[in-house]
């Protein structure tokens, strides 16, 4: 994967007027494989709608990410489709140098002309994936009946033990 793929996630902020701007970016599994080789997600596809409100002092960005990915259940090892639907905001303030103040506030150099949002999409989606991956068919997390083998055989006891069982009850 080369950097040419990541260029499609570039936003040219210097050419934007002080107003509201909308962008749409489509992403797939290649984006996630660029940042990490050890992912447990497969066949990821999605769309990111980015709204930017630019002022003289900052950029207020709103990410609306929708899509799906394929995960493997931790209990049954069955593959299932996991729906992605998330909203995040980041505030980019213009300053003298690049610095991350918090997870939702970043200072960028006021002379910076391009922001690449690929890393932000990657982080938002990775943080949305649950640590405990359960197949949707397992509605109750504590229900392990689906994995226990059951038989309908009637439990027969030795008739010689019946007198002992009567003593046990008393």
Going by pLDDT thresholds of 50, 70 and 90, the confidence category of residue 77 is: confident
Q: Report the alpha-carbon distance of residue 146 to residue 149 in Å, rounded.
A: 8
What does 99-118 look like in DSSP terms, one character per residue?
EEEETTEEEEETT--EEE-H
Is residue 70 within 8 Å of residue 80, measured between CB atoms?
A: yes
Reported as a single tens digit per residue, the pLDDT across 95-108 is 988 888 988 899 99
| Residue whose C-alpha is closest to residue 25's, from 117, 111, 131 | 117
Domain boundaries, the chain: 3-143
Least confident window among 3-12, 81-90, 140-149, 153-162: 140-149
């Amino acid at each position: 994967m080369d950097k040419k793929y990541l260029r499609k996630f570039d936003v040219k902020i210097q050419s934007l007027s002080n107003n509201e701007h909308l962008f749409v970016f489509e992403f797939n599994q290649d984006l996630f494989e660029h940042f990490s080789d050890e992912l447990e997600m497969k066949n990821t596809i999605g769309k990111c709608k980015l709204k930017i409100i630019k002022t003289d002092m900052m950029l207020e960005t709103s990410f609306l990410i929708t899509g799906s990915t394929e995960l493997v259940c931790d209990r049954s090892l069955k593959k299932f489709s996991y729906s992605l639907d998330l909203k995040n905001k980041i505030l980019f303030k213009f300053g003298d140098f690049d610095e991350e103040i918090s997870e939702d506030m970043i200072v960028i150099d006021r002379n910076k002309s391009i922001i690449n949002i690929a890393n932000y999409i990657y982080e938002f989606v990775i943080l949305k994936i649950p640590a405990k991956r359960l197949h949707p068919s397992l509605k109750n997390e504590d229900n392990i009946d689906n994995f226990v083998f059951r038989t309908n055989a009637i439990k027969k006891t030795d008739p010689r033990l019946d007198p002992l069982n009567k003593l046990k009850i008393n």
